[in-house]
């Protein structure tokens, strides 16, 4: 899998990002297996780039889901009955 630009990731949908993340996981496993079987990685920079790309995908996916969660919380808060706040306790004078 080729390294993807952040702007291209932001244009993808949540499902497509999840699919790319699964592909990256599989590729990271393959790279780790080759590293452990031969004793040294074939391309050390590739493994780091794959891990960073996975982190970027997960970050952007979380950012896409965050506004949806905020809207749901606002809707739930507006539908729940409001309970008046208890009066603040006053300080006792000795």
For residue range 44-59, list pLDDT tens digits in order: 899 999 999 999 999 9
> What confidence score (pLDDT) does residue 62 get?
92
Contact between 72 and 29 under an 8 Å Cβ cutoff? The reply is: no
Enumerate the domain spans of the chain.
13-74
Q: What angle do CA 50, 54, 60 make, to 5 degrees?
A: 145
Question: pTM for this one?
Answer: 0.66
Structure tokens at 40: 């040294």
For 3-15, write each residue's pLDDT tens digit. 889 999 999 999 9
């Amino acid at each position: 899998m080729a390294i993807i630009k952040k702007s291209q990731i932001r244009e993808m949908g949540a499902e497509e990002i999840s699919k790319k993340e699964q592909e990256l996981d599989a590729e990271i496993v393959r790279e780790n297996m080759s590293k452990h079987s031969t004793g040294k990685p074939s391309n050390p920079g590739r493994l780091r780039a794959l891990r960073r790309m996975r982190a970027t995908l997960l970050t952007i996916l979380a950012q896409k889901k965050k506004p949806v969660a905020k809207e749901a919380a606002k809707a739930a808060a507006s539908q729940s009955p409001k309970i008046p706040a208890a009066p603040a306790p006053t300080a006792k004078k000795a």
